[in-house]
Amino acid sequence: MFDTPSPDAPVRIETETAADAAAVEALVLAAFGPGRFAKTAERLRERASVVAGFVAREDGAIVGSVRLWAITIGEAQALFLGPIAVEAGNRRGGLGAELVDACLSHARAVDVAGVLLVGDAPYFERFGFRRAVDVSLPGPVDGRRLLWWGTADVSGIVRAGRK
């Protein structure tokens, strides 16, 4: 009858745009702190290109984000996922899962072998990520946190960009 906005406006997952970059950086910094820049994953991202980003938007504000980067593993084209962050007050409501799902839908739609990330297995196993046993990043990483999702196994050294 009346078009009244809901007091609990739904959070929407959208494709990240250039205008979102500053808010995404602020969200990621709040979630991980400056220590993030010391990590091997960050070294890889410095050399790779973003192929897609997704944000969770609530009343115009970004409350979650994730990015996908172009990498090559051995001879296989793949995507590197991260960082993923949900604003502290919005966690445990499924937003992280929706952001991961957006990444996996993107991966299914493009010509890649799968998605690699460095993260907590207890969180990412629910989406089908498993240890990437024969994959090496260009720097130190805890092997238990190097995780792969894909139709086939991959092996080799991870490089930024396409072959």
Ligand X SMILES: CC(C)(COP(=O)(O)OP(=O)(O)OC[C@H]1O[C@@H](n2cnc3c(N)ncnc32)[C@H](O)[C@@H]1OP(=O)(O)O)[C@@H](O)C(=O)NCCC(=O)NCCS
| Contact set with ligand X (CB under 6 A) | 31-32, 84-86, 91-97, 119-120, 122-123
Nearer Cβ to ligand X (13/31)? 31
Closest approach of ligand X to the CB of residue 90, in Å: 7
Nearer Cβ to ligand X (76/84)? 84
Tell me the residue nearest to ligand X as measured from the CB. 96
Closest approach of ligand X to the CB of residue 2, in Å: 32
Nearest Cα neighbor of 96 from 127, 58, 60 is 127
Closest approach of ligand X to the CB of residue 109, in Å: 22
Nearer Cβ to ligand X (113/146)? 146
Cα separation of the two ends of the chain = 56
Q: CA 72 to CA 8: how far, in whole Å?
A: 42
- The beta strands (E) that lie in the chain are given as 12-15, 50-58, 61-73, 76-81, 85-86, 114-118, 130-131, 135-136, 146-150, 156-160
Closest approach of ligand X to the CB of residue 147, in Å: 9
Q: How many CB atoms lie within 10 A of CB 51?
A: 17
Nearest Cα neighbor of 43 from 114, 137, 117 is 137
Nearer Cβ to ligand X (111/142)? 142
